Amino acid sequence: MSLLQTHAATLEEVDVEDFSEQVVWSLLRTLPKLRSLACSPGPVALDFVRQSSQLRSLWFYEFYKLPSAALQALTESRSASLLGTLDLYRWRHDPDLMALAGCLPRFPVLRELSVDADPTDDFLRALTPTSAPRLTRLSLHCEKKCLHAWLHDIRIQDLLQRNPRLHLQLSKCDCNEEYAYEGVIKCDCSFCEKEESRGRCSWFSLHRRTADCPPGCLQVVPLPCSSAPPADSSNQG
């Protein structure tokens, strides 16, 4: 509390985890430069998200607790048109991913989306340049033991071909830790072993690396057959 009060005029990023005290959230409303918030989706937090008009980045801990209410608060938020980064952590229990897909048009400038859940076929098909026109970074949980097999799964290939500017990464990776993939990849093939040895989580795409790509971007060789229209050939290797 004292930290918030002392730096209220300059704070841009705040992590309040699961604080539910009204006095904390009342103080957050007074922060003129607040742009990034990390919190659990409790009722008080969701009311703050709904009323806030300046958030650019939002991380929800324990998203499984109130997913429907959280999604509603997001779509009703006065920050919806400004939100560039959204992280929904721990949404493994019966996630309604199509509800999330239906919300995406409400976030026209969303560039980064992290969903800690196994992606369904319908959800992957719902991600298009129309539903998420600015989306360039997507983090998902990998339900396969082998990262290489996952990247060449026809569903993932379709996703990347349908969204030629998209970069894909495994969720739950910590790019700042030496063992970024520990407990995430459980395969000893040469591809997975090499990826683990990098010491950071790579981003994967179907296009050649450009100045706009995130650090550690690697091009995935596209499959010869896919149900999606081919990406622009000038952007592939």
Q: Is 0.85 topped by the overall pTM?
A: yes
| CB atoms closer than 10 angstroms to residue 52 | 19
Band the pLDDT of 3: cuts 50, 70, 90: low
Mean pLDDT, the chain, integer: 85
State how far the Cα of 158 lies from the Cα of 153, in Å rounded to an integer. 9
pLDDT at 229: 45
Q: Where are the domains of the chain?
A: 12-175
State how far the Cα of 103 lies from the Cα of 189, in Å rounded to an integer. 38
pLDDT at 15: 92
The 10s digit of each residue's pLDDT in 141-194 is 887 888 899 999 999 999 999 999 999 998 765 444 444 556 566 788 999 888
In CATH terms, the fold of domain 12-175 is: 3.80.10
- What letter does residue 92 receive in the DSSP assignment? -
Give CA torsion, residues 88, 78, 81, 213, to 10 deg.
-40
- Give Cα 23 distance to the centre of its chain: 30
pLDDT at 219: 92
State how far the Cα of 16 lies from the Cα of 14, in Å rounded to an integer. 6
Helix (H, G, I), strand (E, B) or coil at 1: coil
- CA proximity to 178, closest of 198, 204, 203: 198
State how far the Cα of 52 lies from the Cα of 46, in Å rounded to an integer. 10
